[in-house]
Amino acid sequence: MRVLLVEDDDDLRDVIAAGLRDGGFAVDCASDWPEADVLLHLSAYDCVVLDRMVPSGDTLAPLEGRRRAGWSVPVLCLTALDSLDERLRGLESGADDYLAKPFSMRELVLRVRGLSRRASARLPSFLGCADVVMDVARHEVRRGGVLLSLSPKEYAVLQQLLVHRDTVVTRTGLLEHCWDEMADPVSNVVDAVVAGLRRKLGSPGLVHTVRGQGFLLSADPGPS
């Protein structure tokens, strides 16, 4: 899942981005709305974490404008403006959730995960292939009933492959959805994560390489 974080405080932005990445998200960052607006035109996001007050002003105005134009990406407002009136104003302007500073990083991660899951693919509670089952709500994966210890990136890649089960997913598609703008598109980072995922999933193999195209998750035998 890919998240856009809009926060003008450099230190806080770094802390939040690190916390979200630890939670398994790919995170792009902006320090002001004009920069965020450019990123929103360039990439597809599952959620936006939006500071209310940035150098260009209150972000509720441009948010409201985007909502009127039909933009539906879920937005969590993260702000020190925590009065009831301000919370209501944020929700009325198009925010889907509102979290006041200071906040718990664990709570932020859970809220962003809930918004992302609800919005992007309308994921079911469980995804599966053969004896592999992903509990989307609990963020857990089991094979044959045994809980697997996956890294955040392995989990994200597996989720994309499960969503597109029996369909080839390109390396570019995985990069765009599971990594942020800092990822090097010519590196072997996708192949390395897929290799680790294969090891942890064990036998029989379910993740197949389709030469020149990408990866395929299928219970049917295929090239590896």
Residues 143-155: pLDDT tens digits? 999 999 998 889 9
Q: Does an H or E element contain 60, and which?
A: helix 60-68
Tokens of residue 30, six digits: 């902006």
pLDDT in tens, 24-42: 888 999 999 999 999 888 7
CATH class of 2-119: alpha beta
Domain assignments of the chain as residue spans, ordered by start? 2-119, 126-217
Per-residue confidence band for 223, with pLDDT thresholds at 50, 70 and 90 = very low
Strand partners, 47: 3
Dihedral sign, CA of 26, 28, 33, 34?
Answer: negative
Q: Which of 40-54, 74-88, 172-186 comes out lowest in average pLDDT?
A: 172-186
Report the percentage of the chain scoring pLDDT > 90: 48
* Beta strand pairing call for 169-170 and 214-217: antiparallel
Model confidence, pTM: 0.61
Q: Is domain 126-217 in CATH 1.10.268.10, yes or no? A: no
Distance, in Å, from the CA atom of 16 to the CA atom of 216, rounded to the nearest integer, reads 33
